Chain A
């Protein structure tokens, strides 16, 4: 059984979803790569920001 921690699961989710979004939402390879990276940063970045917000609220 695979038991990743929460952040690893977020990174895996962001990686696979970003690859699919990049390929399907843009026309040229260059724009696909750029949009994929953009999606990955937004996925991972928003998870980190929300995690810190929840941490600070819970204190």
Chain B
């Protein structure tokens, strides 16, 4: 059950100095940092192990998708491409780097390329989940 702890006398005393330090500043920083660079949202909050595991998982998934010659969506000509583009954009700077360097394939030509396309899209969606998780930790909804 979730409830508001605002105004309760014990809550501020439970926060350590390090937690108080991270609670100051721009509230959306972990969300934006986590979206741009996988795991960075948790790094900002001092959650090094969680951030490292998230970064390794999401970057590996994206890199494997590229290695399988997965398609990187560059435009939205129909609804399916639009959904794929939204998923790809979840990768943040990884997507930008892939577009700039011309990584991935323009068309799905082999079976593994279709796996790769799915890996890239899902990596983006997982990155969004991780960024929102960092935001929830920042706002105190999650420990």
Is B33 positioned at the interface, with any CB of A under 8 Å from its CB?
A: no
Q: Which residues does A use to contact B, with CB under 8 Å?
A: 1-4, 6, 9, 12-13, 15-17, 19-21, 23-24, 27-28
> Can you list 24 residue pairs at the A/B interface with Cβ under 8 Å?
A1-B67, A1-B68, A1-B69, A1-B112, A2-B64, A3-B68, A3-B110, A6-B115, A13-B122, A15-B57, A16-B57, A16-B58, A16-B61, A16-B123, A17-B61, A17-B122, A19-B54, A20-B54, A20-B130, A21-B129, A23-B133, A24-B132, A24-B133, A27-B143
Is B119 positioned at the interface, with any CB of A under 8 Å from its CB?
A: yes
Q: Is the CB of B112 within 8 A of A3?
A: yes
| A17 CB → nearest B CB, Å | 6
Q: Which residues does B use to contact A, with CB under 8 Å?
A: 50, 53-54, 57-58, 60-61, 64, 67-69, 110-112, 115, 118-119, 122-123, 126, 129-130, 132-133, 142-143
Q: Which of B58, B112, B115, B130 has most A Cβ within 10 Å?
A: B115
Q: Would you list the 8 A-B pairs with minimal beta carbon distance, nearest first?
A: A2-B67, A24-B133, A16-B57, A19-B57, A20-B126, A16-B61, A9-B115, A3-B112
Tell me which residues across on chain A come within 8 A of B64, comparing CB atoms: 2, 12
Tell me which residues across on chain B come within 8 A of A15, comparing CB atoms: 57
